[in-house]
Amino acid sequence: MPSARRISILRAMTDPRYTPLVQTLPATVPFVGPEVQERDMGQTFRARLGANENVFGPSPHAIVAMEREAAQIWKYADATNFDLKAALSAKLGCSPENLIFGEGIDGLLGYLVRLLVSQGDRVVTSDGAYPTFNYHVTGFGGALVKVPYRDDREDLPALIAKAVEVDAKIVYLANPDNPMGSWHSGAEIEAAVETLPDGTLLVLDEAYVEFAPADAVPAIDVQDPRVIRMRTFSKGYGMAGARVGYGIGAADLIRSFDKIRNHFGMNRAAQVGALAALQDEIWLQDVIAQVNAAKVRIGQIAAANGLNALPSAANFVAVDCGRDGDFARAVLRALVARGIFVRMPFVAPQDRCIRISAGTPKDLDALAEVLPLALEEARAGVSA
């Protein structure tokens, strides 16, 4: 076995020469996955209600298409995503030149930040909004400028005002919002776009758009250079594991992605699965109905335990635990210990809530069984 001195010498000789920026970054990831928690606990979750996955799954046509394509997986995928772009552009009423596909919204956000953000460039977001976006901004040396939520939703006027103040390159807004499930009307967003400062891009994250009311979707010209919209097949289409996201934007901006994206980043089977899913509108509408029913049930379970479920335009519900973040964290820990995987907002005062994804009837039966026990444990711990 090598001596400690020998190991030290080898490490000194072989360590890569990290950039100064990378040397300052914490070795963290935005989310700890449920699989990691299961390994740590030594058991699997009874109900997986924390990652906002679509537990009702993808279209059966998508599954068949991906199974069939498995025999062709030795081939690289079409780097242009030609068939998928053609079908989606027809559905959206835009040109294929206005679409970019990538490895989920997360991957596309990384590419976008790489395109626009240099060391010290300011980016405006909400304090407590989607942390993976922040992860990319920090990773490319950008300076995050945050504004607080107001009334449990992102404060759109304050975001724009802050962008003006700091000359931000990007403003990030999720609509509907994660983690609260709140939303702005399309009309509010359209009006806000007209107040964007010159040279500022609004990144409109619409991951949950399939679940949103129609009047929450703004009418924005696809060629408007001030906005890029990010959407995904992870939520409504039930394909989170396939990693298929897309951006909708002005052709010039979309072409710029080709300068830096991983051209073979898309999975071949995922491409054909997404195409089949896109063509199965009946399945999508059935999923939306099941999600809506699950959100109602979550609200009923919350009310039965003296808690308040907030209105949600997404596929999850933020449940107000009625106290502070410490109490909500105690409730979450007690749920996880009993096999119910949930998550919660990270920032006060939104951290008074836990966030529960839409689940199957069996999942929600388990939640209804365990939540009273978790609340009892949390209350006892706080009182002790």
Structure confidence by residue, pLDDT tens digits, 112-142 = 999 999 999 999 999 999 999 999 999 999 9
Question: Dihedral angle at the C-alpha atoms of 126, 128, 129, 132, nearest 10 degrees?
Answer: 120
Confidence of residue 75 (pLDDT cuts 50, 70, 90): very high
Average of pLDDT values for 91-103? 97
Q: Where are the beta strands (DSSP E) in the chain?
A: 47-48, 99-102, 122-126, 143-147, 170-174, 201-205, 227-232, 245-249, 308-309, 316-320, 340-341, 353-357
User: Two tokens at 105?
Assistant: 């919204």
Q: How many Å separate Cα 349 from the centre of its chain?
A: 20
pLDDT of residue 8: 67
Confidence of residue 9 (pLDDT cuts 50, 70, 90): low
Query: Over the chain, what is the mean pLDDT?
Result: 95
Which has more pLDDT, 25 or 57? 57
Q: Read off the pTM.
A: 0.93
pLDDT of residue 2: 60
- Whether residue 14 is predicted with pLDDT greater than 80 in this model: the reply is no
pLDDT of residue 382: 67
Half-sphere exposure of 328 (CA within 13 A, CB side): 25
The conformation of residue 348, written as its DSSP 8-state character, comes to T
pLDDT of residue 7: 64
Q: Length of the chain in residues, anyone?
A: 384
- In tens, the pLDDT along 336-377 reads 999 999 999 999 999 999 999 999 999 999 999 999 999 999
Question: Which range among 5-14, 22-31, 69-78, 289-298 shows the weakest confidence by mean pLDDT?
Answer: 5-14
Share of the chain above pLDDT 90, in %: 89
Domains of the chain: 34-55+282-383 (3.90.1150.10), 60-279 (3.40.640.10)
pLDDT of residue 13: 64
Average of pLDDT values for 268-294? 98
DSSP labels, 166-227? HT-SEEEEESS-TTT-----HHHHHHHHTTPPTTPEEEEE-TTGGGS-GGGS----TT-TTE
